[in-house]
A and B are shown apart, each in its own frame.
Chain A
Amino acid sequence: MSNKKKKKLTPVQQEYQSFSRAREPKRPVLLNCLKAFLVGGLICAIGQGVSEFFLWNFDFTEKTVGNPTVAIMILFSVILTSAGVYDHIAQWAGAGTAVPVTGFANSMASAAIEHRSEGFVLGVGGKMFKLAGSVIVFGVFSAFIVALVKTLLAELGGA
């Protein structure tokens, strides 16, 4: 916890928090990192395998093979989410399963499944981006800023 936040706590609260923290099991950060590294790497290796498959069997180039590969990875993730397996893998793998394509698909599919009971419009449609929405908002916004900076630099430097 940051010092700024700690300042707002009363002495009794601070005393209790250090008392309780000494008795709480810590997140096994190193082990989690290792697991995330292995699982994240495995997912990427599977992705690589899928793209090799498309390169060998179909008329794709290294530039165009990304699209069908991503589609297949999304399909894998959604199938595993629907089968109720993805969250169990994620509990073990941690950040490893949060790697962009499969993690993103899982966040959308899980929200869609969860809110199915509220109907297709307000439930599935409205709540599907509950978690993924902020990724899109800030992804698009930061892309815009980066593009703006790049354009400006090109204009200034290229003149």
Chain B
Amino acid sequence: MQQGHQTWLFKNKPVIISTAAVGGPHEAEGPLADDFDLLHGDLWVGQDSFEKAETRMLEEACEIAIRKAGLQKQDIQFFLSGDLLNQIISSSFAARTLAVPFLGLYGACSSSMESLALGSLIVDSRGGNHVICGTVSHNAAVEKQYRYPTEYGAQKPPTAQWTVTGAGVALLSAEGAGPRVTSATIGRILDMGISDPYNMGSAMAPAAVDTITAHIRDLQISLDEYDLIATGDLGRVGHAIAGDLLKKHGIGFTAGKFTDCGILIYSADQPGVLAGGSGCGCSATVAFGHIMNRIKRGELKKVLIVATGALLSPLSYQQHESIPCIAHAVSIEHIH
């Protein structure tokens, strides 16, 4: 049901009956290693290309989530997924293996919450009973497409971020036990004219703030309702800007409750991390791994995940276009 301008209120509150997070070697060394269901020590994941490795990780995440829910592949009605590779091949190829009706999405790094919001809408409207939502990114495959070759010696500025190698999926159902999706706010595109792909945090921060503002306006709530508000992958630079922007707009929040998946996933001293993590897998693994575990342990009652996406392409960057950004917010609650 639509509420306000751009928010869906889910009357039947779809249940996240299981989630799965798969990570790579860099994530295994991070502070959230224990929240992953599967960690790979090898960036190749036993495949002969990084693109295949990315597909494999998404397949694994789906298999784990289905197994954890005690279901079979044929029990799943729809699979919603997106990734960062050209023509979202990782999602399509994983859907080929999964052999489940598939909707491919592209929201760059916001795909995690884009898929969760749409999946919840399907389940809430009884359009399907079991829906898998998820996304994946692979550091080497994404760097290869968007930036220089991985082994090329180019110095990255302190605002640059490290693309997460990981897949995160959530299995939604109309009934069952687990945290519930209560509302979702679909973001609009904001472009502040920033064109530096090594400064995604600054580019995406306004989109996150816009969606958060829309969320509380549409639902007429305050941010204090949430135990945790996690932005997708703004990193240390973008997250600080987003916090200051919220204050500038007079939106109050408790400092300790406002965090970012890109900050949480790595420790600051890990090599190459710089401003933090990014990529589709960033908000997906942190939200569907770490944050979901905290909800299940009862540490958090109500969280808002605001996945942010930078909708640029290597071509648009070379043609000196600025970076359009988006953010989608999904509210997840633990209801007894």
Binding site for B on A (CB under 8 A): 8-10, 12-14, 16-17, 19-21, 23-28, 32, 81-82, 84, 86-91, 93-95, 97-98, 103, 106-107, 109-111, 113-115, 117, 130-131
Contacts and interface: CB of A to CB of B under 8 A. Distances in A.
A87 B153 contact: yes
Contact of A114 (B48, B151, B193, B275): B151
Given A9-B193, A111-B149, 14 more contacts: A12-B192, A13-B191, A16-B192, A23-B237, A23-B244, A24-B237, A25-B158, A81-B151, A86-B153, A106-B151, A109-B151, A110-B152, A113-B151, A131-B152
B298 interface: no
A107 to B, nearest CB: 6
Which range holds the interface residue count of chain B?
Answer: 20 to 34
Given A32-B155, A117-B50, A19 B241 contact: yes
Interface stretch (B57-65, B84-92, B199-207): B199-207
Given A19-B241, A20-B205, A117-B48, A25 B159 contact: yes
A89 B149 contact: no
Contacts of B175: none
B158 to A, nearest CB: 4
A88 B194 CA distance: 27
Nearest to B144: A114
Interface string B262-276: 000000000110010
B336 interface: no
Given A19-B241, A24-B159, A25-B159, A113 B192 contact: no
A91 B199 contact: no
A47 to B, nearest CB: 17
B153 A106 contact: yes
